[in-house]
Structure 1
């Protein structure tokens, strides 16, 4: 895939630009150059610690004859978290990510907090799973913990945005309470009592409730301005999580706020953002396109594609 380098005219506001021929179209992926310390974003990650995750062998336990396992088993959750958590630390202003298991304890209403990990620690941390795998799947305690964590950070530093990634493998048992709390959180954000927030929820496996995930995306009140609080995606297996979570984070982490317009050479609007402009944007142009323009307010930034060579 052709890449435009800085010496070939890549604008300073962009970190990377890749292009790919698609017949008579040119697919373009642009990554903004972001300084997390300037964006003041805080990140957290919550992994499902319910017993169904253990039974499925996602922690390298369970699933054996009569519940016993023979020999050392691979821990898919640990392998995935060794990729996902360090990736999230890159987005955090302090270079750390709060990590916890949720849906733990006898009823699945508890959390086991690991702590705030930096990239180096997270890459080798032993994510063996919670001490007590949960008997239910209650998500609200994790969301409350996330909110409390952000509020605690705000007492010590400026937090302008917050993002959490949450993994689940089943039906949420406190769905109605979660909907109500989402509306409370939205009001707090609109009143400037809480920073702008995005929660990425990824369902993994065949037992997830797709309807719940879709309804949760729609739980943000209609009067809320900006991107909805929740977004979701589905993964077939735990091994699929790193790539999927990275994509969702890039789509929901801000490059900047305030909206923007993306236009082709003829001035036609290709994409428009009312508020959050994501860290990674993808779009298509004509295969013969020589440039595109990003308009932010009254400012226009035109990126030449000549450095890509022949399309």
Structure 2
């Protein structure tokens, strides 16, 4: 289970209770990876349930139209995200699309590639060429980005060819098809016929199915599918928008045990038991096991310490 209340500088904390009662922890320390040659994609939900978030009231003109005016909350966030992600893009741009368009929610509408300056004046008002969707299907935008970035250079999980962010407010209707496609795609990453692309699903609003997001995020857990360098392939990450307080969190799984963030440190549980020692440097990706009955852990390092409660994940 991925914790929702994460203490900085942790970017993500996953809690896995084992059969013997011990608790496996996989956590990342929030940092910006050294990305080279990466492409960036951003997919915005174009389903009808998103209209209000784009500032579309449905009331046409006149006094009532003015009274029904509502703010477009998607536009400023999208402009900010494009501006941020473009700084890491190999071509200085982010490829933007709307997804979940058309009657059954299975179509996408390409908007174009935008750099930081272009994003400042970009109108984000939802799909124009296609009707708002009546369903939310993820397979089409997923396939779109895999095909679009098929020639992106990639060194595997440590250095993806692209990072693609998908924003949605609803339930994914084709989850089983998406998972099946991702398993096949992972095999193509394994044999190096396609570059590794990291996907991040961001949920907004109260209708998001968190269980679905976690299922997609954890679909490669225990599958033992590895890239050419022997790293476990994990295509998906997920995040609730309400839990995001820094844009750096889009990179929270793009870290490795080779990245050292602190010179030394150790992990203790709430009883003071040392569970992991890092004498030669604390990595950005942490893997350790807490004894049965643990309810928190502390990362202790020269000059300070950080304690993370894990009770919500037990």
**Shorter chain as normaliser: what TM range?**
0.5 to 0.7
- C-alpha distance in structure 2 between counterparts of 1:69 and 1:179, whole Å: 43
Q: TM-score, structure 1 length as denominator? A: 0.67
3-state secondary structure, aligned to 1:69: helix
Q: Does 1:74 align with 2:75?
A: no
Q: Give 1:250 deviation, angstroms.
A: 2.8
Corresponding residue of 1:138: 137
Instruction: Compute the TM-score of the two structures, normalised by the length of structure 2.
Output: 0.67
List per-residue Cα deviations over 1:259-279 (Å, max 9, x = no partner). 24555179931744679xxxx
- Aligned-partner Cα distance in 2 for 1:59–1:181: 30
Give the corresponding residue for 2:294. Answer: none
Q: CA deviation at 1:31?
A: 4.7
- 1: CA distance, partners of 2:142 / 2:33: 29
Alpha-carbon distance in 1 for matches of 2:133, 2:234: 29
Q: Which residue of 2 aligns with 1:61?
A: 56
Q: CA deviation at 1:196?
A: 2.2
Given that 1:58 and 1:76 are in contact with CA atoms closer than 8 Å, whether structure 2 keeps it comes out as yes
Per-residue deviation at 1:64?
5.7
Contact 1:61 1:69 in 2 (8 A): no
Distance 1:31 1:215 in 2: 25
Structure 1: stretches of 5+ with no match in the other structure: 1-17, 19-28, 276-282, 290-311
1:18-29 correspondence to structure 2 within 5 Å? none
SS in 2 for 1:224: coil
The question of 1:44 aligning with 2:41 is answered yes
Q: Structure 1 pair 160/212, CA: closer, same or farther in 2 (3 Å)?
A: closer
Indicate the residue corresponding to 2:163 in structure 1. Answer: 163
Aligned pair count reads: 239
Q: 1:80 to 1:218 in 2, by over 3 A?
A: same
Q: Which residue of 1 aligns with 2:277?
A: 268
2:92 alignment partner in structure 1: 95
| RMSD (Å), alpha carbons | 3.2
8 A Cα contact 1:60 1:75, kept in partner: yes
For the 8 Å contact 1:182–1:219, the answer to whether it is kept is: no
Structure having the higher helix fraction is: 1
My pick for the range that moved more, 214-223 or 43-52, is 214-223
SS where residue 150 of structure 2 aligns?
helix
User: Deviation per CA, 1:42-69, whole angstroms, max 9, x where unpaired?
Assistant: 1100000000011xx1010126699x63
Provide the C-alpha distance between the structure 2 equivalents of 1:207 and 1:274, rounded to a whole number of angstroms: 31
Q: Deviations over 1:133-188 (max 9, x none)?
A: 1110001000000101101556xxxx952111111111111111001011011111
1:65 and 1:134, CA in 2 relative to 1: closer, same or farther beyond 3 A? same
Deviation at 1:111, TM superposition (A): 0.5
**Secondary structure in structure 2 of the residue aligned to 1:46:** strand
Q: Is the 8 A contact 1:100 1:112 kept in 2?
A: yes
Report the CA distance shift for 1:32/1:86 in structure 2 as closer, same or farther (over 3 A): closer
Whether the 8 Å contact between 2:100 and 2:133 is mirrored in structure 1 is yes
- Mapped partners of 1:76, 1:165: distance in 2: 17
Give the secondary-structure state (helix, strand or coil) at the position aligned to 2:105.
Answer: coil
> Does 2:236 align with 1:230?
yes
